[in-house]
Amino acid sequence: MTAGGWIFMVISWGAILLLAIFCFWKVFTKKRLE
Amino acid sequence: MVQKKARDTWGSRLAVIMAVAGSAVGLGNFLRFPAKAAANGGGAFMIPYFIALFLLGIPLMWIEWTLGRFGGGFEHGTAPGIFHSIWQKNRFIKYFGIIGIFGPLIIFIYYTYIESWTLAYSFFALSGKYRALADQAAMKSFLSGFQGLEKNQYFSSLAPAYLFFLATFFLNIVVIYYGIRGGIERLCKWAMPALFIFGAILMVRVLTLGTPDLSKPDWNIFNGLGFLWNPDFSALKNPKVWLEAAGQVFFTLSVGIGVILTYASYLSKGDDVVLSGLTASSTNEVAEVILGGSIIIPAAFVFFGPLDIQSIARSGVFNLGFVTMPLVLNKLPLATAFAFLWFFLLFLAGVTSSVSLAQPAVAFMEDEFDISRKKAVWIFSIVAFILCQPAIFFLKNGVVDELDFWGGTFFLVVFATVETILFGWVFGMEKAWDEIHKGADMRVPRVYKFIIKYITPLFLLFILSWWLLKEWLPIIFMRNVSVANRPYIFATRIGLLAIFLILGMMVRIAWRKKRVLEGKLR
């Protein structure tokens, strides 16, 4: 795998994992705007 | 006074997130995504993929969650009623909503059959029925025999496939019979974690394959990942790559079908949709990009090498899942266990999607004709069972491909375009923005006000016109269909038209009944 391949894989996995962790963390802490 | 029965509701927020994610995570996450990425620029494919996710997929997800919850407030769980609630002055808009029942019903009638193959192969993995097969030709022949496309030494009739179809169909009906909370929610609560555990086990197994054949050092797992992820930036100059990425995002999130509208209609008015929608989307993305991208293509590369993987990646979804993957898994220690995990993972992904496809038709009968869920499920199961038969017996004549084109491709994009325009332009962006944020646990970035109103509909209209001109016209005019199969395709189209017209008549009758009832109440 080339350096470019690693970069794309790590960024894609990282972005998706971060989004999922952020969402589930928010879901379980349940802060309401109202 | 006329007493309407209470609508079903979700038991918890996590339950609806799991159910929507379960609907979105399907066979495409594990088979379609890696093949598309590998064939369209590798890592570079993720640039248009993420752009489409943020400009098309996530806005559509929010639109459908919001419209669904809004319609549920008027006791409408399907698109005809939801569209009518948004644009009450327009007498015709409810008829556009028919697509939101027609699409999922059509997908259900062939998807259940394909889903039953995964259950059958889970059983074959445990019983060792294909364990001795060692090459692509033999495994292909096994699949063709099972599908009834040919009689061979493995299968002499369609009976085994039909038995597994009956079991799968029955399971789907049992789940929807027990309703949203007692059936779908209960299924997704254990099936989704199980799916992720199975996927993670398979991913770890594939990523620790190393270099199985030391005489071929290049056939290693890093080069296998490289086949999927090494970027080819020249692919980005090709508009087809951008459309493939947009198409993948569109299909993977289950938007444009009508299923999310129905699921979200069982939310209460104060329930959040912003965070829930985003969480369901991100769960789907984990299953697709992380699990889906790490199993089939890297594993096939390690065992078949850099030359064969090119043709394998282009061989189509069924070939990848039912021919290549069993061969790969056959070569591993504990082959039986891993093969079972793979096919049962696909089965779980399939069943959590197919129950969601059944729900709009059931909800339509419950909400608009005020009949009990159990009666609605009975009617649905009889009609769907009859409609499944052509998909099973005329598979070789291209009936499934035809159903997939109309139910699973064409009308999806049309429906998404209609609901986006309704949301941003008819409902109005200010009102829509307030509606999205009712009970919200997080705010949608303000830039999405612009994206939802202008970018998403333009994106959809562009996709619709491009696909229509470049890909759909030859399909519509049956240019690639053999002369022998044309009568079957023509008959399928007549059948689809009849279903559409019957649904149209049902909408007309339901609304006429409502008007009569309203008149009596006055």
Which CA distances in Å does A34 have to B73, B122, B272, B296, B447? 19, 48, 11, 46, 22
Report the residue of chain A nearest B53, measured CA to CA. A16
What digits encode the pLDDT tens for the residues B352-383?
999 999 999 999 999 999 999 999 999 999 99
Among the residue ranges A4-8, A29-33, B200-204, B315-319, the one predicted with the least confidence is A29-33
Minimum Cα–Cα distance from B44: chain A residue: A8
**Are the beta carbons of A27 and B230 separated by less than 8 Å?**
no
In chain A, % of residues over pLDDT 70: 88
Judge: B286–A20 Cβ closer than 8 Å, yes or no. yes
Q: Mean pLDDT over all residues of chain B? A: 93
Nearest CA in chain B to A28: B14
Query: What is the pLDDT averaged over residues A10-32?
Result: 91
Q: How far is CA B442 from the centre of its chain?
A: 27
CB atoms B279 and A23 under 8 Å: yes
Task: Write the DSSP assignment of B383-395 as a string of letters.
Answer: HHHHHHHHHHHTG
What is the distance between the alpha carbons of residues B447 and B266, in angstroms, rounded to a whole number? 29
pLDDT in tens, B210-245: 999 899 999 999 999 999 899 999 999 988 888 889
pTM of the model: 0.94
Query: Which residue from B17, B279, B441 is facing A32, i.e. has the nearest CB?
Result: B441
Whole-angstrom CA distances from B434 to B46, B59, B68, B281 are 33, 15, 15, 22
Mean pLDDT of the region B115-120: 97
pLDDT confidence of residue B200: 96
Cβ–Cβ contact B354 with A under 8 A: no
Whole-angstrom Cα distance, residue B457 to residue B95? Answer: 20
Which residue has 């299924």 as its token pair? B187
What's the rounded Cα separation, in Å, for the pair B22 and B220? 33
Residues of B in contact with A32 (CB under 8 A): 272, 439, 441
Amino acid at B450: F
- Predicted local confidence at residue B408, as pLDDT: 86
pLDDT value, residue B318: 86
Segment B257-304, tens digit of pLDDT:
999 999 999 999 889 999 999 999 999 999 999 999 999 999 999 999
d(CA A27, CA B15): 12
CB within 8 Å of B431: residues ≥ 6 apart: none
- Percentage of chain B modeled with pLDDT above 70: 99
- Condensed to tens digits (0 to 9), the pLDDT of residues B447-497 reads 999 999 999 999 999 988 988 888 889 889 998 899 999 999 999 999 999
**Closest CA in chain B for residue A29:** B441
ipTM, two decimals, is: 0.93
Q: CB pairs below 8 Å between A and B: how many?
A: 83
Task: Kindly tell me if the per-residue pLDDT of A33 is higher than 70.
Answer: no
- Position B144, amino acid: S
Q: Over 80: is that where the pLDDT of B3 sits?
A: no
How many angstroms away from the CA of B346 is the closest CA of chain A?
22
Question: What pLDDT is stored for residue B520 in this prediction?
Answer: 74
pLDDT computed for residue B155 by the predictor = 96
Of the partner residues B17, B231, B443, the one whose CB lies closest to the CB of residue A8: B231
Estimate the crossing angle of helix B79-86 against helix B335-369, to 10 degrees.
50
Q: Which of 106-135 (B) contact A at CB < 8 A?
A: none
Give all strands (DSSP E) within chain A, no chain letters.
Answer: none
- The dihedral sign for the CA sequence B212, B216, B218, B219: negative
On the question of pLDDT at A34 being above 50, the answer is no
% of chain B residues with pLDDT over 90: 80
B285 lies within 8 A of chain A by CB: yes
> What is the pLDDT, as a whole number, of residue B192?
96
